[in-house]
Each structure stands twice: as structure tokens, then as C-alpha cells.
Amino acid sequence: MIKIDEIKLQTILDSRGEKTLEAFIKSGDIEVVSSIPKGKSRGKKEAFLIDTEIALKKFEKIKESLLKQDFCSQEEFDDFLIQLDGTANKSNLGGNLTLVLSQAFSRLMAKKEGLELWQYLEKEIFSLAPDLKEKNLQVFVPYFFFNLINAGKHASFGPRFQEYLIVPQVKDPVYSLSLAKEFFEALKNYFKKNYQKNEFGDEGGLLIPKTDFEEPLKIYFQIRKDLHLEDKIGFALDVAASSFYNQKDEKYYLEKDKNFSQEELAQIYKKINSSYWFFSLEDPFEENDWLGFKKIREIFTEESGGPLIIGDDLTATNLLLVKKAIEARAIDGLIIKPTQIGTVTETLKTIVFAQKNDLKIIVSHRSAETKDDFVADLAWASRAFGLKAGAPQPEERMVKYNRIINIFNSQFPILKL
């Protein structure tokens, strides 16, 4: 049982210089702070976001209720928030308000129990699914997904595919980060030489003054070859196809003067994969195109070396949508973003269900980030397949990668993977 003695909410600036929420909670002599990010590329199925100033006013209305209540668990606290909200998509309180309070409470509980945050989240996962305990006791360090060329909604210009990622094919997080930094330096030098300057997007990656969706892949391929890292670096795409899909004619406007049908876009993926061999392919079709996801997964399942098909806007960290994706045989894995659903408990329940059904989990940041490293602890606690946190440069991104490294070193100081 824990009683909250003091709780405050304020606005801070995120990595885009926009306002986001930060919560402070105190119980006895324990004090914690947590802040949340937000995404520019947001699916329609995500929890509702409210303006930060409105969130402050909403918070004042529920503050006394939170102070009067004693809470026994994370789930009880989150359920209380859900009941106060009273809507299916957090449209009353806002998913950003409920999440910042939920995250702060999880940090409070972890400190109260004398645990690292990842240990507390791990304990919560095992309480939801005791049968995962034996499976999750094995060491699994998440792959790092580095977004080095930002495009789509994360950029002011460039191709419409949203994220061009590299994924070091190593399990030592220190080595993974060093490979990414080496690759990124070579990429920045290439851009300076060929485009005369380096400009950066929302996630710290470079902006390319080209609209050809294949150009970044050609550059990646050449740099990997020049660095002799063919066996160490894999490529991944976050297409975010909803961002260039036209609902009226059901076409994908991948280029300014060209549109493609579902089948034509699938053939494009098949063609470029044969040239670059993707580790994963995220949101290849718009968020309601279940058939498109199923078809592309079938295409690559039949071929050796095909990429993992990953859902993001399709599944939105929502348990019901993940169930639908499994029934539709639409994905091999999914992105986990607590901001999409609005509470820690709901996030953990989605993770547990996905893991029980052998889906790969990739925990992700958002395009407008803070220095809170919650998602790193979540990735470690859930034995996530991957962590997406942007380019290895901005501080808001690096704290996530460094947190994984710190946990790894504290748990396995002499372990070599």
C-alpha cells in the first residue's frame, strides 16, 4: 500500500522545442520525476492527446482524488486513472496526462520496493504472466535500431519513406553503439561531400535533399561496403505508409507525381529487398490495410531471407488490435510505444500477450523526446527484440541507449555476447 503525499504537473520543452508534460510524485521521503514524449507521425488508433495547458487544468480537477486514494499496485493506480477518464481512447483526460502520471507512479513504486525501474517492470510482467518467468530469465539484449536518415513526417524534405535505419547485428550494446557511431560519421562525411551541408531531422538523423525513396538505401549500401561492415550492419525501413496513403482513391503516393496500388507497392518492397535485404519492414501499408500486411508477410515468408513484418500504426500498442493482427496473420512483431495506449499497465498487458504469441517486441521512442529513459528500462524488462531510439547523437536519444548499456554492465560485467 502506498499513499501519495504530493503530486505536481508541469510543462517542459521536448526535443522539438514544444511543450510536453512532466510529473513529480512524492510519498514519504521518496521523490520521483517522469516526463513523456510525443510523436508527429501518429496513427488514428492511438490514445487521444490533449493540449498541455488543458492537461494542467484537467490534472487540477483529479489531483485531490489521487491524494485521497491509497494504492496497492500499478494496475490499481492505472485502473483508477482509466475510470477517472471514462472513455475508450482517453479523450477526456488525454493519454498524455494519464501516461505521465502512470510512468511517475511506476518510478515511485520501484523506489519504494528498492528496485531498479527495469526490475520493477519485470516483476509486473511476471505478475501478469507467471509462465513467462522461466522463458524471460534468459539473457536477451535488444538490438539497437538507429534512424540515421530522417524522412517522411520527421523531415522538412526528402523521400516519403519515413525512417531509414541501420541495425548492428551484434548483441553487445557497447559494440552496437560504436558501430552506429562509426557508420553515422561516415554518413555525415558523405553528405558534406555530396550535398555540401548536414541538416538533421526530428530524430537526429540526416535530411537528404532527394525525393527518390531508394537513394538513402544506395548510400547505406555503399558506406557499409566501404567500412567492410557487410556482416555487422543490417538495414531496416519504417515506411509509415499511412502518411502517404490517399483514402479516396486507395492509392499510395510514394512519389510526387506517382501513385501505386497495394499490389504495386508490394512489388516495390520485393524488388528493393532483393537488392538490400532488410532486417525488418515496419508499417508497409496503411493502418487499416490488414490484407496488405498479410500479403506482404506471405510473400516474404515464402522467400528465404525476407524481413520481419512489423506493425506500428496497425497495432498501436493496443491489446485488441494485436489480437486482430495475430488472427489475420499480419505481422511478425510490433512496435511498443506507451504513448499510444496511455498507461504502463495497458502497455505491459500488450507486451505479455504479444510474447505469449511469439511476436517480436520493439520498444520505441517518439520523434519529440525528453531525457526520460523509461523506454530503455521497459525494453530490458520485457526482453524486447529491439529498441528504437533515433540517431546516436542527440542527448534525448543517447540516454536511452546508454541506459541499456548501464543495465547490461551492472548485470553482466564480464559477460561477452
Assign 3-class secondary structure to 357-379.
Answer: CCCEEEEECCCECCCCCHHHHHH
Q: Is residue 40 a part of any domain in this protein?
A: yes
Which helix (H) or strand (E) element contains residue 346?
Answer: helix 344-356
Q: Give the HSE-up count for residue 364: Cα atoms under 13 Å, Cβ half-sphere.
A: 30
Return the CATH number at 265.
3.20.20.120
Q: Is residue 416 a part of any domain in this protein?
A: no
What per-residue confidence (pLDDT) applies to 256? 81
Q: Is residue 126 a part of any domain in this protein?
A: no
Q: Are residues 67 and 139 in the same domain?
A: no
What per-residue confidence (pLDDT) applies to 272? 96
Which one of 119, 147, 172 terminates a domain?
Answer: 119
- How many domains does the chain fold into? 2
Q: Is residue 417 a part of any domain in this protein?
A: no
Q: Are residues 20 and 137 in the same domain?
A: no
According to DSSP, the residues that pair with 149 across neighbouring strands are 164, 206
What per-residue confidence (pLDDT) applies to 306? 87
**Strand 233-238, strand 278-282: pairing:** parallel
Q: How many CB atoms lie within 10 A of CB 271?
A: 11
Q: Are residues 209 and 106 in the same domain?
A: no
Q: Are residues 167 and 62 in the same domain?
A: no
Q: Is residue 124 a part of any domain in this protein?
A: no
Q: Are residues 365 and 391 in the same domain?
A: yes
Q: Are residues 136 and 90 in the same domain?
A: no
Q: Are residues 184 and 80 in the same domain?
A: no
Q: Are residues 110 and 136 in the same domain?
A: no
Return the CATH number at 55.
3.30.390.10
Q: DSSP states of 53-85 as a string? A: HHHHHHHHHHHHHHHH-EESSHHHHHHHHHHHH
Q: Is residue 147 a part of any domain in this protein?
A: yes
What per-residue confidence (pLDDT) applies to 223? 98
Q: Are residues 245 and 355 in the same domain?
A: yes
Long-range contacts: 265-271, Cβ < 8 Å, 24+? 265/241, 265/292, 266/292, 266/295, 266/296, 266/299, 269/296, 269/299, 270/299, 270/300
Provide the residue type at 281 as one letter: L
Q: Are residues 93 and 173 in the same domain?
A: no
pTM of structure: 0.96
Give me the phi and psi of 267, to 5 degrees please: -70, -35
Low-confidence ranges of the chain (pLDDT < 70): 135-139, 303-305, 413-417
Per-residue pLDDT reduced to its tens digit, 212-253 = 999 999 999 999 999 999 999 999 999 999 999 999 999 999
Q: Are residues 102 and 242 in the same domain?
A: no
Which one of 61, 90, 119 terminates a domain?
Answer: 119
Domain limits for position 285 = 132-411
Which helix (H) or strand (E) element contains residue 22?
Answer: strand 19-27
Give me the phi and psi of 384, to 5 degrees please: -65, 150
Q: Where are the beta strands (DSSP E) in 265-384?
A: 278-282, 308-311, 333-336, 360-364
- Three-state SS at 214: coil
91 Cβ contact partners less than 8 Å away, ≥ 6 residues apart: 48, 85
| The three three-digit cell numbers of residue 404, written as one number | 541499456
Active site residues: 203, 337
What per-residue confidence (pLDDT) applies to 134? 72
Q: Is residue 353 a part of any domain in this protein?
A: yes
Q: How many CB atoms lie within 10 A of CB 386?
A: 25
Q: Are residues 259 and 144 in the same domain?
A: yes
Which one of 119, 142, 159 terminates a domain?
Answer: 119
Q: Is residue 307 a part of any domain in this protein?
A: yes
